[in-house]
């Protein structure tokens, strides 16, 4: 089961955060947002199908987040959690930790923003259009 978000990069994408990565509906980004990979997202967790949310609430679920531009693609895998709400109307956050709030879409991620391929990050910093696909199995 998939959910898809369309967004775009921004000149301030630095992807230096060690424990999270984020996609936001905000249409701006400051240099302090070092976990944000893309802005101006057309959807947020609150828009996800209830069946998708329920599948993510299984702690045995594998959740894969794929970030793709025209020329680059990378996936990060993590897991579900019974406490995942996916109710935030602004941001989707992947976490390497077990911390859960209403923005969290995956916990126990293999890596955070700093782990993404630098060619992908450079494309995002150049403002590339991006497709974020969240898959739960």
Question: Averaged over 111-115, what is the pLDDT?
Answer: 98
pLDDT value at residue 98: 97
Question: Averaged over 93-97, what is the pLDDT?
Answer: 98
pLDDT value at residue 56: 98
Q: Would strands 20-24 and 91-95 be described as parallel, antiparallel, or unpaired?
A: antiparallel
Residue 135 lies in a domain: no
Identify the CATH number of the domain in which residue 59 sits: 2.60.120.630
Residue 88 lies in a domain: yes
pLDDT value at residue 134: 98
pLDDT value at residue 48: 98
pLDDT value at residue 108: 98
Question: How many domains are there within the chain?
Answer: 1
Domain that residue 26 falls in: 2-129
Q: Would strands 36-38 and 104-106 be described as parallel, antiparallel, or unpaired?
A: unpaired
Q: What is the pLDDT of residues 67-93, one digit of tens each?
A: 999 999 999 999 999 999 999 999 999
pLDDT value at residue 67: 98
Instruction: Give me the sheet containing 20-24, strands edge to edge.
Output: 36-38, 20-24, 91-95, 104-106
Measured between alpha carbons, how far is 38 from 108 in angstroms, rounded to an integer? 21
pLDDT value at residue 60: 97
pLDDT value at residue 82: 98
Q: What is the pLDDT of residues 8-67, one digit of tens each?
A: 999 999 999 999 999 999 999 999 999 999 999 999 999 999 999 999 999 999 999 999
């Amino acid at each position: 089961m998939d959910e898809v978000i369309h967004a775009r990069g921004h000149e301030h994408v630095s992807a230096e955060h060690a424990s999270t990565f984020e996609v936001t509906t905000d249409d701006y980004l400051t240099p302090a947002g070092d976990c944000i990979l893309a802005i101006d997202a057309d959807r947020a967790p609150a828009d996800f199908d209830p069946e998708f949310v329920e599948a993510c609430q299984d702690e045995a679920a594998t959740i894969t987040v794929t970030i793709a531009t025209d020329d680059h693609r990378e996936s990060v895998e993590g897991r579900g959690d019974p406490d995942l709400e996916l109710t935030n109307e602004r941001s989707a956050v992947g976490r390497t930790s077990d911390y859960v709030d209403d923005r969290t879409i995956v916990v126990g991620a293999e890596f955070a923003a700093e782990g993404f391929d630098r060619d992908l990050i450079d494309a995002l910093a150049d403002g590339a259009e991006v497709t974020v696909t969240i898959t739960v199995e």
